[in-house]
Structure 1
Amino acid sequence: MFNLLELSRTYPNQIWLNLSEKQQQEAWQRSQNHANAMTRCNAYLNELCLTAFIPWLEGWCQEGQENDKSTRINSFIESSLPSLWEFINGTIINFGDIRLALIPTDSTDVDEVCVPQEWVDITSWRADYYLAVQINLDNPDTSWMRLWGYISYQNLQQRGIYEESDRAYYISGQHLTPDLTLMLLQPEPVFPKDVQVKSVPSLTQETAERLLAQLSQSSVSAPRLAVPYEQWAAFVTNEQWRQDLYERRLRQFKRVAESDPPRINLGQWWQNIFESGWQSLDAFLSRDSVQVAVSFRHRRSQQNQERQVYVEGIKVIDLGIELNNQSVALLVGLARETDERVGVRVQLYPVGETPILPPNIRVALLSQSGAILQEYQARIHDNLIQLKRFTCPVGKQFSIRVALGEFSITEDFAIRRTVDSN
């Protein structure tokens, strides 16, 4: 793991900013008023990006261009950012006479930038420059953000590849300019003002009401992709309709959440956020009273190398007075395999002075409907049982059950983005 100083020395032309734990907590709190985990994650990343970038830009201006009115800074449509981040990734910044689009991602793969079509093809929203932002939150104590390059609107149009499936322009990192100060020192609008562009078509009130009813349903996971682009562009640029849709989706998803039992959001584990009763394995091992620390660390080191587990959560389960209050530890490890799939490993360990599991204790993987997909039972001298490693797509729900005799406990999980956080 490189620290921020080492990274900035390795890539001196890029801007590296520290993300404090306070910044992360405040951004997380502000991002909670969204319909589902995926939109909360999007809002969270954009909140962090905005709150870190603007102070840096203001400081840069004060050092080099103090009292220069051309460097006034404000965010575009600032009053309605939540309703934008509910549907679209990115934030527009007005910097003097130019417009910058911040496009954040928490992906470790930064070979290319994905710019939503709205920031490019809606004339009133398009930017002069698009800034690629990478946010790393793997460790809350050493989190950082880097501005790793920018590209002008004209170059994005010429070199970008448009993907209809997600309505976005993809631009290879090799076409980005890494030194942001080159653009900031001589900021000039690059969008040609004399080019004739087609305006966004208007919608009738009747069509808008129909779209509101359709897109507010919880079954519509991505409203921006659910209707023809021309209709969506006309709809989303109307602040009243966009705000109405945002509020309707909040109410609709709240009703769905209230009718569905709460599930442990594994997506939040990447930000070191654990539900009550759960904790990171590092926190568990830091307790001096835990007798299995050495054993856990040894097995963890071996298994992480073999299985590439990047985050692990653990819960201690008391089996009850019938077994002299013996406890076991349910360990769930996660590994990102792709942007849409997560690898999951489930293990059960003894806790305390007893080095082996109770004979016949079982751990099972259940589908969302309750069907048993896997189940393993401890033998007489087992000090560990585990499920066969499995992968889940983002949005998938499953349960893990630990049972022994009449005792049974079930933990319900969901694989959601942060990183569909419910």
Structure 2
Amino acid sequence: MTGNPARFTFASPQELILEIPVEVQNQAWLTSQYFSHSASCYQAYLNKLCLSVILPWLQQNFTTQAKPWTSTTALPSFWELVNGCAISVDDMRLILVPSEAIDNSELRVPQEWIDIPSWVGDYYLAVQVEPDDRYIRIWGYCKHEQLKIHGNYDASDRTYSLDGNDIIGDISVLAVVRELYLQEHTRSSIQPLPTLSPQQARNLIAHLGKPEIITPRLEMPFQLWGALIEHGGWRQSLYQRRLGLPEQWSVLQWLESRVSQLAHQLGWNSLNLQLNPAGARSVGEMQSRTILSRQLAIAGRSYELRIIPTSESDTTIWRFELHNTAPGAAIPGGFKLKLLTENLQPFPNNEDIATTTIEQLFVEVALEPGEGIVWEIEPLPENYDQEILRF
């Protein structure tokens, strides 16, 4: 806990006050400028401050393994659309809900963090951010179950709120909670969201992608909205459309010119693969082919996902390969490489499973022009977020 107690006479001794370093504030301000309008910029600013200050505190006081739940590169696509961010602490998920409100009469949480199945957290932290005085105050927390069952739902802004008297104000209890986490029931059951067709998603993105729509999350029924942004690829597409960015995920463009800046930030690169065709007798007769490569970290080890185009008659076959990048290392048994349609549906021969240790996993697929594919790997790579690769 840091800060001058005289400045925080409104806070109880049980609350946590953390200072915002000047360099953290400056960096948060710089990175919060790439959004569609001023409200999203400021929302991103508060969330970046919140995450940048609280995460190091968790790493120091809970576990060095605490990390953002999703890729840091994907965070802008969340903050363009909804307030809040998530941190993984081992198997436990904390949802941070920043606000500038100084009173602690209630905790108000956007519906997305309560009712989107893959976004749900275990504990929700009430966070006051004060940029001018450079401090962050964590004044309480509660479980998902409390918000869902006992919280008040406000349909006008799609939030769940819980009275401040029902929130645990002693942040030090979080350390005990973590020890008992596996024994405690934290999450309430929620309804699954519908499956959208690719055409439905494209129509919604085209409509909501207009930057003059200031609050897209309130423009349609929650079931449709939640189904759209739960999909990482569609959420990224909506964010990019609202910023007026060109297509970022065209594999053909990556091969013909260069990998887009966003994809490069996520680890995608193009490289020339030297192939030795049958009958070649010298290095000069070897063929060079441009392929795509993405670096991945899985279970503490480094892997590479490759996309290799091959031609068969008039058809291009796309081969997805997973390799261990360590010299002589293999893919452990139990790993799975899977391809899904744009709306996450399986298709025949869409996966390869390592039943024992194996040199590589691969899946080959023929695609129509403009068709989208989503790749998945089990165990999940660190900071995984769904990507729609457009062919």
When normalised by structure 1's length, the TM-score is 0.54
Q: How far off its partner does 1:232 sit?
A: 0.5
Amino acid at match of 2:87: I
Amino acid at match of 1:176: I
Equivalent residue for 1:96? 90
Q: Is the 8 A contact 1:89 1:103 kept in 2?
A: yes
User: Aligned partners of 1:127 and 1:210: how far apart in 2?
Assistant: 30
Per-residue Cα deviation, 1:249-278 (whole angstroms, up to 9, x for no partner): 1118xxxxxxxxxxxxxxxxxxxxxxxxxx
Q: Is the 8 A contact 1:4 1:16 kept in 2?
A: no
Per-residue Cα deviation, 1:162-189 (whole angstroms, up to 9, x for no partner): 0011111011211111112212223115
Amino acid at match of 2:5: L
1:237 aligned to 2:238?
A: no
Q: How far off its partner does 1:192 sit?
A: 5.9
Per-residue Cα deviation, 1:323-349 (whole angstroms, up to 9, x for no partner): xxxxxxxxxxxxxxxxxxxxxxxxxxx
Structure scoring higher RCO (CA < 8 A, sep ≥ 6) equals: 1
1:119 aligned to 2:120?
A: no
Correspondences of 1:214-233 after superposition (within 5 Å): 214-233=207-226
Q: How far off its partner does 1:121 sit?
A: 1.0
User: Aligned partners of 2:77 and 2:189: how far apart in 1?
Assistant: 29
Q: Percent identity?
A: 35
Q: How far off its partner does 1:8 sit?
A: 5.6
User: Aligned partners of 1:132 and 1:144: how far apart in 2?
Assistant: 14
After superposition, the Cα gap between the structure-2 partners of 1:102 and 1:196, relative to the gap in structure 1 and judged at 3 Å, is: closer
Amino acid at match of 2:218: L
Please point out which of 165, 171, 184 is paired with 1:174: 165
1:208 aligned to 2:209?
A: no
Q: Is the 8 A contact 2:15 2:140 kept in 1?
A: yes
Q: Secondary structure at the match of 1:233?
A: helix
Which ranges of structure 2 fall in alignment gaps of 5 or more residues?
246-391
Equivalent residue for 1:319? none
User: Aligned partners of 2:129 and 2:121: how far apart in 1?
Assistant: 21
Amino acid at match of 1:168: T
In terms of fraction of residues, the more helix-rich structure is: 1
Per-residue Cα deviation, 1:116-151 (whole angstroms, up to 9, x for no partner): 00111112111111000001123xxx4210100001
Q: What count of residue pairs does the alignment treat as equivalent?
A: 238
After superposition, the Cα gap between the structure-2 partners of 1:203 and 1:153, relative to the gap in structure 1 and judged at 3 Å, is: same
Equivalent residue for 2:321? none
User: Aligned partners of 2:170 and 2:131: how far apart in 1?
Assistant: 23
Larger radius of gyration: 1
1:158 aligned to 2:153?
A: no
Amino acid at match of 2:137: R
After superposition, the Cα gap between the structure-2 partners of 1:178 and 1:250, relative to the gap in structure 1 and judged at 3 Å, is: same
After superposition, the Cα gap between the structure-2 partners of 1:220 and 1:191, relative to the gap in structure 1 and judged at 3 Å, is: farther
User: Aligned partners of 1:35 and 1:107: how far apart in 2?
Assistant: 24
Q: Bigger shift: 121-130 or 195-204?
A: 195-204
Which ranges of structure 1 fall in alignment gaps of 5 or more residues?
63-70, 253-422
Q: How far off its partner does 1:107 sit?
A: 2.3
Equivalent residue for 1:23? 24
Please point out which of 126, 129, 132 is paired with 1:132: 126
Correspondences of 1:59-74 after superposition (within 5 Å): 59-61=60-62, 72-74=65-67
Q: Is the 8 A contact 2:115 2:191 kept in 1?
A: no
After superposition, the Cα gap between the structure-2 partners of 1:196 and 1:28, relative to the gap in structure 1 and judged at 3 Å, is: closer
When normalised by structure 2's length, the TM-score is 0.58
User: Aligned partners of 2:57 and 2:129: how far apart in 1?
Assistant: 15
Correspondences of 1:299-338 after superposition (within 5 Å): none
Indicate the RMSD between aligned Cα atoms, in angstroms: 2.0
Q: Is the 8 A contact 2:83 2:110 kept in 1?
A: yes
Equivalent residue for 1:51? 52
